[in-house]
Structure 1
């Protein structure tokens, strides 16, 4: 068993990302990686290194484990995929904990990836509209760059069926609005500067300064509440409400999620400490911040190596 763990350890992180792309859930992806390793360990005597590399074999097991897990499940979504935009910044914030919400994925900015962009929140959310097998074909062909024959072998089908599923998946994605993803992106340095300015403005409770960093049609959404806003005025109005409700004392810590800039937000409580409040994931373009998905789930902080409170 120790030898097996040593062999598969280098692939755990990329398998986690693979399962996340298919499932849209960080928690579920962790469970499925564990399931993959258990299945692989039980079947290790049947593994033939001449037919496939260990990496390819593990991906086959992981993909089929995810497809089994997805049977009978609905898609994971963001608020903008479920309800219309809200126009009242004072609308009630009522979490819907029974909805299977999309979750963010921690990424390391120091690790260069050939498939950078395949984890972006908008794309993962769009992929949730695809049937499970089309989703798997799209990831194996377009993200992992597997030949159609290899995908067919992994999914126990034919190359013709794989190519047909890939065409349908691409056509469906083309129908989903990914306009913000097509905008010419700024450099990493420019993105970092925008996020650092946002942090300074937010911590200073400077709503006017924060608003200057936003695109005109900026989107703010906040799972698990089925609530989202469009436009600078609505965004600013909601942030003013946040300061009125929770006070102006905040601290933000910069991180990365889904290959996008993100921050962990902390609010000062009566004990004088700053407690974990939300994880905010940004889309930054030449026009400014076009999207902020704010996840009110403090259990996510550990995945991003963020503490639950600050001095």
Structure 2
């Protein structure tokens, strides 16, 4: 007899947010993560009667989610940001890009999520399970059907590669920090008032600009400023609302009154290190929760 929905829901629902975050880190896309978690819960319900609690519900769900995510990765190219693909003209479909995620956790920063996509699927899973969710090595080994030694060696390789691909800066400021708020305010006012000088004043000399879904990106303030100057247009063309994305200050954006997408800032103590603009109108609705004061 099937287990009552109330019993099942009480056991599995507390882990939904963690599972979505887990699958997002593995797959690099919010949509894919939610689809993977939905499939995880379908499978969990199907086998709930035979789940004998030899492991915790949390471990069991992550085991299912890992299998679902690994299947989703088969035959797909890794998601990336333009800076990870090389500078060239043209556009790629949204399935090629890392998607932003509405969460305030610092370990979800865009550069880190993009860096995770350069790892093998098993390296991603081991690193996230051990370093983000603090699963003990024996549980990870059981979850992935590998030896404890394999978990330890895979983790070592994953950490080393991620440190090369997405080194973690020590001068990052949180979205709620006054420094980050001033930088985001300068970004918003620069576009809403067509005064690009407000923005260039808070850009670092090595700031970069990535404009998705195009493949071109701009490295250094000398390259970024002409692009930003062309973009600001006339006062009133743009409207922006502060939000948080991937633990970073961000703004959902309207152009001429129509949804345009999302801009995400990499805020550092000495200025904005990068701006990533996702030109996808649907993101305006998905990031509807304003930045909390």
State the alpha-carbon separation in 1 of the partners of residues 83 and 15 from structure 2. Answer: 34
Alignment partner of 2:273: what SS? Answer: strand
- Distance in 1 between residues matched to 2:232 and 2:263, nearest whole Å: 16
Structure 2: runs of 5+ lacking an equivalent: none
Assess, with a 3 A threshold, how the Cα gap between structure 1 residues 266 and 10 changes in structure 2: closer, same or farther.
Answer: same
Alignment partners' CA distance in 2, 1:242 and 1:266: 13
Q: CA deviation at 1:68?
A: 1.8
Aligned residues, how many? Answer: 284
2:264 maps to what in 1? 281
Distance in 2 (alpha carbons) for counterparts of 1:175 and 1:186: 21
State the secondary structure of the residue aligned to 1:289.
strand
1:6 shift after superposition: 4.1
Pair 1:96 & 2:95 matched: no
Q: Given the alignment, which residue of 243, 249, 252 partners 1:255? A: 243
Q: Which residue of 2 aligns with 1:304?
A: 287
Q: TM-score, normalised by structure 2?
A: 0.90
Contact 1:264–1:306, Cα closer than 8 Å, also in 2: no
Q: Cα offset for 1:216?
A: 0.6
CA contact (8 A) 1:134 1:165 kept: yes
What's 1:291 paired with? 274
- CA 255–78 in structure 1, closer or farther in 2 if over 3 Å, else same: same
Contact 1:267–1:275 (Cα < 8 Å) also in 2: yes
Matches within 5 A, 1:219-238: 219-238=208-227
- Spell out the pairing of 1:54-65 with structure 2 (5 A cutoff): 54-65=57-68
**What do the CA deviations read for 1:152-171 (whole angstroms, capped 9, x no partner)?**
10001110111111111112
Q: Structure 1 residues 98 and 33 mapped into 2: Cα distance closer, same or farther (>3 Å)? A: closer
Deviation of 1:48 (Å): 2.5
Q: Which residue is equivalent to 2:102?
A: 106
Report whether the alignment pairs 1:126 with 2:115: yes
Deviation at 1:104, TM superposition (A): 0.5
What do you get for the CA RMSD once the two structures are aligned? 2.0
SS of equivalent to 2:123: helix
Report deviation, 1:248: 5.2
Farther off after superposition, 4-13 or 222-231: 4-13
Aligned twin of 2:192 = 203
Shift of 1:247: 7.1
Flag the 1:18–1:177 CA change in 2: closer, same or farther, 3 A. closer
Please tell me whether residue 183 in structure 1 is matched to residue 173 in structure 2.
no
Cα distance, 1:199 vs structure 2: 1.4
In structure 1, how many angstroms separate the alpha carbons of the residues matched to 2:141 and 2:95? 33
With the length of structure 1 as denominator, give the TM-score of the two structures.
0.85
Q: 1:148 aligns with which of 137, 144, 148?
A: 137
Within the candidate set 31, 38, 62, 2:35 is matched to 31
Shift of 1:177: 4.6
Match of 1:40 among 23, 44, 50: 44
C-alpha change, 1:53 and 1:286, in structure 2 (3 Å) is same
Say if 1:128 and 1:149 are closer, same or farther in 2 by CA, change over 3 A: same
Distance 2:284 2:190 in 1: 22
Contact 2:100/2:245 (<8 A) preserved? yes
1:72, CA displacement in angstroms?
A: 2.1
Distance 1:207 1:43 in 2: 57
Q: How much does 1:7 deviate?
A: 3.3
